[in-house]
Structure 1
C-alpha cells in the first residue's frame, strides 16, 4: 500500500513539473481576444553606456513558443531568419550568431559574442508574435540603445529597383558593412516601393549590398538579382540601386525571324539596354554582300505598337474618305432645286453670339494650408522614379526591300549586356520561296449542252426496257 501511494505521489509531482515546463493551453475562462502587450524592455529605448548580456522584452501574458514572423505592412521591417522565434526578434548590426530564448512571458536576445563597445544597436520585433490563444501582433516594434556615450545619427537611405523589369524591388534585403569586418552587418528590408533606410551609423566607408532573397537564406545566390555600392558616409547618404543577375555571360542571339516580308526580328538570351540602335548589326547574303535595312532596330514592343497605330490610321482615313463622299453626295442631293424652284443660300450666322448665362463653372478652392497638406501626403506616397533604361531581348527593324529566297546570316558585334560583357554573335536566316499558287476552280469549262433537253420532264413516255 505504501509503495503504491509513493508511486502515485511521484507521478503527480512529475506531471506538475511537466506542466510548468510546457506552455500548454489555458483552461476554460472567457474568450481572450487581446493581443500580447509589451510591458517592459531591457535596456530602455535610447539608453547609452549599456552593459547588459542580453535584450529582454517582457509581455503581460505567456507568448507562444511556436510563433513565427509574418509579412509586415509595407514590408518595412528588418530582415531575419526564415521562421521561428529567431526570425521574430532581429538585432542590427549583428554577425548572424544571435540566440533568442523563450521565457514564457518574455523573450531574450543574446548575441553569441556579446554586445560590442561603442556601437548603437536597433532591436526589431517583427509581426507574428502570438499568445497561447493565437492572438497575433500585426505591427512591428523597434527600439535603439548604445554601448557608447551617444547614439550616432548617420543614415543611409535609398531605393532598390529590379533593373530587368524597371519596377521597385519589394521586400528585398539590404546589408551594410565595413570592409574591415564583412561579417558584422547592419540589415534592413525594402518596403513595397523598394525603399529602405539604415540608421544609427557612424561616419566612415561602407559597402551596401541589396538583393531579392528568393530562397530567404540571407545569402546572394547565383540566380538572385542584386546590386552593390560603396558609400563614404559623413552624415546622410541616398542611393539608387539597380539589381540584376550577376553572371559573366554576354548576350547571344537565340532566333532571327522574317516578319511578313517587311521586317526582321531578333531575340537574345539576355537583355541589352534599349538605347542600342543596331548599328553593330548586319544582314549578309549568300554572296557575303551586306543587305541594307530600311531603318534602325527598335524594341519589338515599340515596333508592333507603331505598326498598329499606322494600321489604325489607314483604316480611319479610309472610313473618313468614304463618309465624306457619302456626305457630299447627300448634301448635293438635298441642295439640288426641284423643278420650278430657285435655290436660296442658307443665311450666314452672325459673327458674335450673345451668351445669357455668364456665371463661371464652379472650381475647387485651394488654400495655402491644403497645398501644404497635399504636398506632405504626396511626399509620403510618391513612387520612386526609374531613371535607367529597361533591358530588351527582342528587337525589330524594317527591311528596305523584301528578301529573295535563300540563306542569310545575321551578325551582331559588341552586343553589351548589363554586366558589361560583350561578344560577337550570329545566326542563320533561311527565307523559303513562296508556296505555289493553289489551282483555281476551272472557269473555262464548256457549259452543259443547252440543247440537251430532259424529255422525261416534258412528259415524254419513258423508254421501254
Structure 2
C-alpha cells in the first residue's frame, strides 16, 4: 500500500535492461537472456508458452523480483539470430499497472542479423474474419531451424531475422500449444515463400479445418416453383474451379429437366442474373410510371413559374447513384448450391446427381439423392396482396361515397341556409298604420299598451296590466 498522503502509482513498469543487448552479436553465448524491469512485477507462469521466439524453441523461464531470465531447453545454437516477441498481457506491477506494448528485440550468436521482413494476415476461411493469436511457422527443409510469428488482434503478423532462402510457410490455430501445425486436428493453410533482404514478402493464410473426405450430396430441397437447393456435408469453394455436373430427372419418365443456372450459396443468399434483370426492368417501369404521374400532376397543378419543379441536375443524379452503391460482402464458402430450372416443377419425384464439386480442402466429390415436388399452397404474400387490394377497393368506395354524401350534405346545407334567410317583407298598405310599424305584432298595432281595455265575450272582463302585452297564436 502507498503511504498516507501519497499519490497512487499509475505508471506501468518498463524494461530498463536486456542482456545480451538488442542487435548485438555474442559468439559462444552460454548464459541466460536477462530482462530487467523498472520495478517489481507480476509475471504469469505461462509466459514462456505465450511468448514467441524465432527460431522456434522450447524455453525455460525463471522469474525474479523484478527480472525475467530465459534459456532454451536444448541450449543456444551457434551462428543463429534469435528474435523475441514478449507479450505484455499479464505483466503488471504490484498495483496492477500493466505494460502497454509488446517488446521485440533480436541478438545473434554468430554472424549478422539478416535484414529480412515477412508480413501477412491470417483469416478464417468460413467467416472471413481475422484470427488473433494464430501462429505462422517457416521451414526451409526437414532438418532446418523453424522460424515463426504470431498474429495480433487484427490477424496481422510480422517476422524478421529469417535467413534468405525458400521456405514452406504454415498459418495455423495452435490448439494443443505445441507450436507446430497438426494437420490432422488443427485448422491451417500453407504456402511457399522466397525470403530475401531486397524484397519484403506479404502472405495471406486462409485457414480451414482438416478434412480427408470428399464432399457428399446430403439432400435436395424444393424452395420455389423453379428453384432447387442442394445441400452438401462439406463447405464448397466459392467459386468452384470448374462448373460442377448437375442433372435432375423426373423419376417417372426419366426425362432430364433443363437447368438455367447454378450458384454456390443458399437460395436466400444468391441472386441469379435473370432475377436481377427482371428487378431492373420492374424498377425502370415503376420509375417511368412515377415520372408520367408526376408530369401529369405538374401539368394539372402548375401555377405560373413559381410552381414549376426543376429537373434534377446530372451532378445530383450522379451523387445519388454513388451514395446508393455499397461495399459488396465477401464471397464465402457455402454448403449449398442453388439450381434454377427453365420451367416450373410438376408434382412428382425427381432424382438429382452431382459430380465434380470441390470442397475447401480442394477434394472433389458429388453424389445423388431424390426429392418430392408437391403442389405449392397459396402464399401468404399473395393472400395479403389480395386482401390489401380488396381493402383498397373498399376504401376507395367508402371514400367516393363519403365524397358524394359530403357533396349532398353541402347542397342540403346551402338549401337550408337559403330557406333560413327571412324573405324581405313586402310593403303593407294598411290604412291608418304608420310605415314604421309594418311587421309589428298585430295586437299592438295602433293601440297604446297602457290604455287599451277590451270586453271579453259573454260579459267577462280581462284587465291588461300596464307594460304587459297579450299574446296570440299565429295561424
SS in 2 for 1:198: strand
Taking structure 1 as reference, are residues 227 and 330 closer, same or farther at Cα in structure 2, changes over 3 Å only?
A: closer
Partner of 1:250: 214
Following the alignment from structure 1 to structure 2, what is the Cα–Cα distance between the partners of residues 120 and 326? 76
Whether contact under 8 Å (1:164, 1:244) holds in the other structure is: yes
Following the alignment from structure 2 to structure 1, what is the Cα–Cα distance between the partners of residues 25 and 141? 26
1:145 aligns with 2:107: yes
Match of 2:118 among 138, 156, 160: 156
Partner of 1:302: 270
Following the alignment from structure 1 to structure 2, what is the Cα–Cα distance between the partners of residues 227 and 424? 24
Following the alignment from structure 1 to structure 2, what is the Cα–Cα distance between the partners of residues 424 and 283? 14
Taking structure 1 as reference, are residues 89 and 138 closer, same or farther at Cα in structure 2, changes over 3 Å only?
A: same
- Write the deviation string for residues 79-135 of structure 1: whole angstroms up to 9, x where unpaired: xxxx63324654321322x11101212110011222110001112221131112211
Taking structure 1 as reference, are residues 255 and 104 closer, same or farther at Cα in structure 2, changes over 3 Å only?
A: same
1:317 aligns with 2:285: yes
Mark the runs of 5 or more structure 2 residues left unpaired by the alignment. Answer: 309-328, 379-475
Taking structure 1 as reference, are residues 279 and 86 closer, same or farther at Cα in structure 2, changes over 3 Å only?
A: closer
Where do 1:385-424 residues align within 5 Å? 390-424=332-366
1:181 Cα offset (Å): 3.1
SS in 2 for 1:419: coil
1:37 aligns with 2:14: yes
Partner of 2:41: 63
Greater CA drift, 292-301 or 319-328: 319-328
- Write the deviation string for residues 147-171 of structure 1: whole angstroms up to 9, x where unpaired: 1032222333333333333444443
1:214 Cα offset (Å): 5.1
Partner of 1:451: none
Whether contact under 8 Å (1:53, 1:114) holds in the other structure is: no
Whether contact under 8 Å (2:52, 2:150) holds in the other structure is: no
Taking structure 1 as reference, are residues 167 and 59 closer, same or farther at Cα in structure 2, changes over 3 Å only?
A: closer
Following the alignment from structure 2 to structure 1, what is the Cα–Cα distance between the partners of residues 110 and 221? 66
Where do 1:159-174 residues align within 5 Å? 159-174=121-136
1:289 aligns with 2:267: no
Greater CA drift, 404-413 or 234-243: 234-243
1:46 Cα offset (Å): 1.1
- Write the deviation string for residues 14-68 of structure 1: whole angstroms up to 9, x where unpaired: xxxxxxxxxxx7887843222223221111111113424100011232212xx33
Mark the runs of 5 or more structure 1 residues left unpaired by the alignment. Answer: 1-24, 69-82, 336-344, 350-385, 437-465
Following the alignment from structure 1 to structure 2, what is the Cα–Cα distance between the partners of residues 130 and 241? 33
1:413 Cα offset (Å): 0.8
Whether contact under 8 Å (1:57, 1:107) holds in the other structure is: yes
Match of 1:194 among 155, 171, 185: 155
Following the alignment from structure 2 to structure 1, what is the Cα–Cα distance between the partners of residues 54 and 196? 20
Match of 2:67 among 106, 115, 125: 106
1:417 Cα offset (Å): 1.6
Normalising by structure 1, report the TM-score. 0.65
Taking structure 1 as reference, are residues 296 and 57 closer, same or farther at Cα in structure 2, changes over 3 Å only?
A: closer
Normalising by structure 2, report the TM-score. 0.63
Where do 1:57-456 residues align within 5 Å? 57-64=35-42, 67-68=43-44, 84-87=46-49, 89-96=51-58, 98-128=59-89, 129-181=91-143, 184-213=145-174, 218-220=179-181, 222=184, 224-235=186-197, 236=199, 237-276=201-240, 279-286=244-251, 287-297=253-263, 299=265, 300=267, 301-303=269-271, 307=275, 310=278, 314=282, 317-318=285-286, 321=289, 324=292, 328=296, 331=299, 390-433=332-375
Taking structure 1 as reference, are residues 421 and 262 closer, same or farther at Cα in structure 2, changes over 3 Å only?
A: same
Whether contact under 8 Å (1:39, 1:60) holds in the other structure is: yes
1:187 Cα offset (Å): 2.3
Whether contact under 8 Å (1:227, 1:241) holds in the other structure is: yes
Taking structure 1 as reference, are residues 280 and 315 closer, same or farther at Cα in structure 2, changes over 3 Å only?
A: same
Taking structure 1 as reference, are residues 319 and 219 closer, same or farther at Cα in structure 2, changes over 3 Å only?
A: same
Greater Rg by CA: 2
1:197 Cα offset (Å): 2.0
1:292 Cα offset (Å): 0.9
Taking structure 1 as reference, are residues 148 and 224 closer, same or farther at Cα in structure 2, changes over 3 Å only?
A: same
Q: Which has the higher contact order (CA 8 A, sep 6+)?
A: 1
Taking structure 1 as reference, are residues 424 and 268 closer, same or farther at Cα in structure 2, changes over 3 Å only?
A: closer
| RMSD over equivalenced CA pairs, Å | 3.6
Following the alignment from structure 2 to structure 1, what is the Cα–Cα distance between the partners of residues 290 and 84? 74
